[in-house]
Amino acid sequence: MSLIEIRTMAQMAATGETPEVLFWVGCAGSFDDRARKITKAFVKILAQCNVKFAVLGTEESCTGDPAKRAGHEFLFQMQAMQNIQVMNAYGVTKIVTACPHCFNTLKNEYPELGGQYEVVHHTQFINALISEGRLVIKGGGSFVGKRITFHDPCYLGRANDVYEAPRELIEKLDAELVEMKRCRSKGLCCGAGGAQMFKEAEPGNKEVNVERTEDALETKPNIIATGCPFCNTMMTDGVKNFNKEAEISVKDIAELIAEANDL
């Protein structure tokens, strides 16, 4: 695919244009090498569908989710207010993000601070593109017939009741969706939420991500699908713990869709 031009809100504002949607990249999607691949996959899908989108670029700051979960409410509000001021100045109305942590914070915690936006997760957005006929899945490609299990991110599933969009996308790949015993509203955390990603594990007999990976391995999957960069990291580490990297891959839903469409 040819080079994709990604414009910032500032660049669009300078030419008097308004994007269809603001893509909130998030800290992981910007700085983590693995998560950046998810960002690129989603951008390829947006470009393929001619979605007029923009990013904040250097004007995007952390949503404040880790600070809030760690109990630093003051820092959270400082970070949130900074972002809200920037977005409101640009007249942002709709946001899409590939990170459920950003999704939950922007959707549920920014309104009381003056940030009123329509916020959608990237799996919902991709599903809508298909429903509107803007994205046509050519077929499952290498995923046809593969056993794929989906790990529900806490802030997507239990916190916001988004369960169907990622599963519908997997099924559009003509793959076999195999559910873990703990899924949907009974899903088990990967161990990274609540700012746990950034601290050492507490004493116990097993890491949470190892426990969750055991749930996934019971389904005998070819692929563990995720919808969160943190979950992706934790499940990837879990697969490595069992020395299963050669047999089982961990991929974000956006990566599955992009690869199936040769993007």
Give the chain's domains with CATH numbers.
9-129 (3.40.50), 138-260 (3.40.50)
DSSP state of 8: B
Q: What is the pLDDT of residue 1?
A: 52
* Mean pLDDT score, 160-171: 97
- Tell me what pLDDT residue 122 has: 98
Stretch 79-89: mean pLDDT, rounded? 98
Residue 249: the pLDDT is 97
Q: What are phi and psi of 182, to 5 degrees?
A: -110, 100
Taking residues 181-200, report their average pLDDT: 87
Compute the average pLDDT of residues 17-37. Answer: 97
Q: What is the mean pLDDT of residues 128-149?
A: 93
Query: Is 216 a residue whose pLDDT tops 90?
Result: yes
pTM of the predicted model as reported, rounded to 2 decimal places: 0.95
Q: Is 189's pLDDT higher than 90? A: yes
User: Which stretches does DSSP call E strand in the chain?
Assistant: 21-24, 53-54, 94-97, 118-121, 147-150, 176-177, 223-226, 249-252
Average pLDDT rounded to a whole number, residues 66-83: 96
Q: What average pLDDT is seen over the chain?
A: 95
* Dihedral pair phi/psi, residue 47, rounded to 5°: -65, -40
What is the structure's pLDDT at 109? 98
- How far is residue 82 from each of residues 60, 120, 123, 174, 182, measured CA to CA in Å? 9, 21, 27, 44, 38
Give all strands of the β-sheet with 176-177 in edge-to-edge order.
176-177, 147-150, 223-226, 249-252
Amino acid at position 80, single letter:
A
Q: Please tell me the predicted confidence (pLDDT) of residue 204.
A: 82
Instruction: List the one residue out of 253, 252, 221 whose CA is nearest residue 239.
Output: 221
Separation in Å, CA 179 to CA 30, 126, 167, 218, 221:
30, 21, 10, 10, 10
What is the pLDDT at residue 82? 98
SS3 category, 244: coil
Cα separations in angstroms, 138 against 177, 217, 226: 19, 29, 22
Please tell me the least confidently modeled range out of 28-37, 82-91, 135-144. 135-144
Biggest distance spanned by C-alpha atoms of the chain: 58
Residues 6+ apart with CB under 8 A from 238: 190, 207, 209, 210, 212, 213, 216
pLDDT for position 3:
84
Phi, psi of 226 (to 5 degrees): -130, 165
pLDDT tens-digit map of 219-236: 999 999 999 999 999 999
Structural tokens at position 85: 């001021």
pLDDT of residue 139: 81
Mean pLDDT, residues 184-199 taken together: 85
pLDDT exceeding 90 applies to what percent of the chain?
A: 89
Residue 22 main-chain phi, psi, to 5 deg: -95, 125
- Decide: 133 and 186 in contact? Cβ < 8 Å: no
Indicate the pLDDT class of residue 2, thresholds 50, 70 and 90: low
- Residue 31, pLDDT > 60, answer yes
Q: Please give the pLDDT value at position 203.
A: 83
pLDDT interval class at 201 (50, 70, 90): confident
